[in-house]
Amino acid sequence: MNYIAGIDIGNSSTEVALIRDNDGYEFVATSLFRTTGLKGTVKNVPGVINALERAADEANIAVEDIDRILLNEAAPVIGDVAMETITETVITESTMIGHDPSTPGGDGLGTGTIIDITADRGDVPDETAVIVVVPETVDFADAAATINEWIEDGIDVQGAIVQKDDAVLINNRIDRTIPIVDEVSKIEEIPRGQPAAVEVASEGSGQTIDQLSNPYGLATLFELSAEETQKIIPVSRALVGNKSAVVIKTPAGDVEERTIPAGSVTVISEQGTSASIGIDQGADEIMAQVEDLWPIDDIRGERGSNIGGMLSRAREQMGEITGQEFSEINIRDIMAVDTLVPQAVEGSVASEHSMETAVGLAAMVKTSELPMQQIADEVEDRLETTVHIQGIEANMAILGSLTTPGTDVPFAILDMGGGSTDAAYIDADNDITSIHLAGAGDMVTMLIASELGLDDWELAEGLKKYPVAKVETLFSIRHEDGTVTFLDEAVDSETFGRIVLLTDDGDMEPVSIDESVEKVRRTRRRAKERVFVANAKRALRQISPTKSVRYHSFVVMVGRSALDFEIPELISDALAEYGIVCGRGNIRSTTGPRNAVATGLCLSYVGDRTALDGTVPDGLAKSVGLTALASDSHP
C-alpha cells in the first residue's frame, strides 16, 4: 500500500491532497496550512511538513508512511504594493478648517471678521459681524456669557471657533443660534482680523454642509473673482461630506493644488521595444502600455521616486533569496489601479485631510526555479521520502479543475489567490497556455485601507472578507442592502449603534470605523472590481489564441479568493456580457474551489506520470476522507 501526496505551495496557504494506492488509487485526505515564509523558498518547509502531518492524521497514518511527495513547479514570486500620490492640496497661511468634530454646536452659516473672545469690548465696533475665537484658556460658561453680552450690545456674532470640545455647552447657554465648530487644536494659528465663514449642518438632518463645499458658494461669500474661485477649488473639494467647516480668507488667498513629481515606469517588452509612462497619467494608461508590450521582459521605475524605490526593494528581496545578482532579476508584470488616498492638508490648523488622487501598484518578480529544488531537497532530508517537482502550477490546476462536475476541454481557469492571479487555457488537443499576473487579495486590502483611511491592516482584511451591518437597536440590525433583521435576543450592548462585521460563524464583530455602511460596501466592491474583474479580463485576453475575452466559452474559478462571498459574483456578472459560462470550481465534487493544484499533482502521477493527458483517471473524480477547509476560507 503506497501513499502519494501532492503539495501546492501558494502565496498564503499550503494545500495537500493525499492518495492511496491499494490495487487502485483513491483520495484519502485533504489538508491546508498557512504558508510559512515567502512562496518558493526554503522557509516554506515548516508549513509543508505541518500540512503533511495534518493530512497523515486524517488518513490515520504517520507522515513517515508517505512514500512520495509531489511539489508544484512554482518559482518564487514577490508581489509588492505601493501608493504613488500624484496630487496634493497645499493651503498656506491657515486658510481652512475642514475637520468634522463629533459634536459641533448650533447650525447654519455665519460670516464675519475673526476676533478673539478675550478682546476688549471697546475695540469691537457696534453692528460689526464677527466670528469669535475661543481658546482653551476661556471656560465655556465665560465664553457664552461674553457672546450674550456682545449680542445685547449690538455686535452681530455670526459664529464661533472653539479650541476645546465645548461647542454644545456654549450653544446651550447663548441666546442666539449660531454655527460653532470646536476641537480646533491649532487655534493660535488662526489669523485674527480676517474675514471668515463658519457652517454647521443641522443636527439629525442627515445632511452635510453645502455652501463651503461649493466653490461658487465660497465665491459668493468672499466676493471672489473667477481666478480666485479657481484657486479655492481644493478647499471646497476637501470639505465635501463634512458636517461642519470654517473657511478663512487670507490676504494672499494662498491656496493651490500642486502636482507632485510622481515618477514614471518604463515597460520593456521581450522584443526589446519600450515605453515610459508617467504615474500621473493614471492607471489606465499604464495598463494599456503593459498590454501593448506583452510579454514583458522588465519594468523599471524612475530613480528617486516612490515607484522606483518599490521596484528596487522587490529586486533586492528576490536577490537575497535566490543569490542572483540584482541586475539579473526582472519585474515581469505590474498592475496599476486608480484610487484616492487621504493626505494631510499642508497649512491647515486642525489636522484636516483631503482625498487626493493616487495610483496603487502591485509588482511581480520572477526568477529561476532553483529555490523550489532547495525545498524539495530539504523536505526529502527531513522526512526521508522521495520528493519530486512534478509539474507547472497552472497545468496542475487545469487537471485538478477537470474533476469539477460539468467541465471538459476546452476550457479556462482563473486561479485567484492572495498575491497573484493565474490563468490557464487548455484546448481540444490538450495544449495549455498559462499566465501569472500581479494583483489579487492583498491589493484589494490595500485599496480598502487607503480609501477608508485605515492604519489597521487586520481591520481592512475583515472589511474585505465579511459584509457589514449597523446595529440600530438592541434587537435589530440594518444590512448593507437596507434590509432590517429583527433579532430574538438582544445584541451585546457594546455593539449598539456601531458597525459590525457579520462573520461566517454568525457572530457580530464590532469595528472602529467612522464611515457609513453604504460607503464601506461601495469601497469594498469597487476595490474587488478594479483588481479581480480587471485581472480576470486581462488574463483571459492573454491566454486566448485570438487575444479576445470572447474566445472563451467556459471559465472555472479556483483558489482562495474564489471562496469570497462576492468576488465570483462580480466576475461572473462581468463575463456574462461576453456569453461566457463562468462559475466557482468544485474540485472532486467536495472541496469547492480549493485544492485544484494539489489534486492535479496527484492525478498527473496516476496518469502517465510525466505529462498531462487531459483526462481524469477512473474513480478519482471524487474524494473520500476530507479535512474541513473552512478555517481559512478567504482571500
The string of DSSP letters for 516-545 reads -HHHHHHHHHHHHIIIIIHHHHHHHHHHST
pLDDT (tens digit, 9 = 90+) per residue, 42-96? Answer: 889 999 999 999 999 999 999 999 999 999 876 555 655 555 565 555 544 445 5
Residue where the block lists cell 474513480: 619
Residue 38's CB is within 10 A of a number of other CB atoms, namely 18
Give the whole-number percent of the chain exceeding pLDDT 90: 38
* Residue 475: band (very low, low, confident or very high) from pLDDT cuts 50, 70, 90: very high
Looking at the DSSP bridge assignments, the partners of residue 581 are 554
Mean pLDDT of the chain: 83
| Contact of 400 with 413, CB cutoff 8 Å | no
Q: What pLDDT shows up at residue 506?
A: 84
- As to burial, measured by CB atoms within 10 angstroms (0-12 exposed, 13-18 middle, 19+ buried), residue 390 is buried
Looking at the DSSP bridge assignments, the partners of residue 343 are 354
| H/E run at residue 382 | helix 370-383
Looking at the DSSP bridge assignments, the partners of residue 508 are 502
Q: Lowest-confidence range among 6-10, 257-261, 317-321?
A: 257-261
Q: What pLDDT shows up at residue 429?
A: 86
Q: What pLDDT shows up at residue 477?
A: 93
Q: What pLDDT shows up at residue 97?
A: 54
Give the separation between CA 384 and CA 372, rounded to whole angstroms: 17
Residue 524 clears pLDDT 90, i.e. is over it: yes
Give the separation between CA 478 and CA 500, rounded to whole angstroms: 10
* Residue 368: band (very low, low, confident or very high) from pLDDT cuts 50, 70, 90: low
Residue 242 clears pLDDT 70, i.e. is over it: yes
Residue 320 clears pLDDT 80, i.e. is over it: no
Residue bearing the bigger pLDDT, 114 or 73? 114
Q: What pLDDT shows up at residue 328?
A: 76
Q: What's the whole-model pTM score?
A: 0.73
Residue where the block lists cell 522606483: 308
Q: What pLDDT shows up at residue 520?
A: 94
* HEC sequence for 336-368: EEEEEEEEECECCCCCCEEEEEEEEEEEEEECC
Give the separation between CA 304 and CA 310, rounded to whole angstroms: 10
* Phi and psi torsions of 565, nearest 5°: -75, -10
Q: What pLDDT shows up at residue 624?
A: 33
Q: Retrieve residue 364's grid coordinates.
A: 511581480
pLDDT (tens digit, 9 = 90+) per residue, 198-224? Answer: 999 887 666 788 888 888 988 888 888
What is the average pLDDT across 426-453? 88
Give the separation between CA 499 and CA 514, rounded to whole angstroms: 9
* Residue 616: band (very low, low, confident or very high) from pLDDT cuts 50, 70, 90: low
Mention every residue, 6+ apart, whose C-beta is less than 8 A from residue 206.
Answer: none
Residue bearing the bigger pLDDT, 364 or 630? 364
pLDDT (tens digit, 9 = 90+) per residue, 345-359? Answer: 655 555 566 677 778
Amino acid at 168: V
Residue 441 clears pLDDT 50, i.e. is over it: yes
Mention every residue, 6+ apart, whose C-beta is less than 8 A from residue 37.
Answer: 43, 44, 47
Looking at the DSSP bridge assignments, the partners of residue 156 are 129
Q: Lowest-confidence range among 170-179, 218-227, 446-455?
A: 218-227
* Residue 389: band (very low, low, confident or very high) from pLDDT cuts 50, 70, 90: confident
**In whole angstroms, how far apart are CA 503 and each of 12, 64, 468, 509?**
20, 38, 9, 7
Q: Retrieve residue 44's grid coordinates.
A: 516554506
- As to burial, measured by CB atoms within 10 angstroms (0-12 exposed, 13-18 middle, 19+ buried), residue 56 is buried
**Beta strand pairing status for 129-134 and 108-116?**
parallel
Q: What pLDDT shows up at residue 478?
A: 92
Give the separation between CA 609 and CA 388, rounded to whole angstroms: 11
* Best mean pLDDT range from 65-69, 281-285, 308-312: 65-69
Q: What pLDDT shows up at residue 139?
A: 92
Residue 114 clears pLDDT 80, i.e. is over it: yes
Domains, the chain, ordered by start? 1-74+370-405+591-634 (3.30.420.40), 79-86+260-366 (3.90.470.30), 91-256 (3.50.30.70)
Q: Which 8-state DSSP code applies to residue 621?
A: S
Residue 256 clears pLDDT 70, i.e. is over it: no
Q: What pLDDT shows up at residue 612?
A: 47
Q: Lowest-confidence range among 20-34, 277-291, 323-337?
A: 323-337
What is the average pLDDT across 178-206? 83
Positive or negative: CA dihedral 626, 632, 634, 635: negative
Residue 324 clears pLDDT 50, i.e. is over it: yes
Amino acid at 497: G
**In whole angstroms, how far apart are CA 561 and each of 31, 210, 294, 469, 589?**
17, 41, 25, 22, 18
Mention every residue, 6+ apart, whose C-beta is less than 8 A from residue 57.
Answer: none
pLDDT (tens digit, 9 = 90+) per residue, 564-592? Answer: 999 999 999 999 999 999 999 999 888 89
| Contact of 419 with 77, CB cutoff 8 Å | yes
**In whole angstroms, how far apart are CA 298 and each of 230, 304, 380, 439?**
42, 19, 35, 17
Residue bearing the bigger pLDDT, 534 or 430? 534
Give the separation between CA 570 and CA 459, rounded to whole angstroms: 23
**In whole angstroms, how far apart are CA 172 and each of 139, 144, 609?**
14, 9, 82
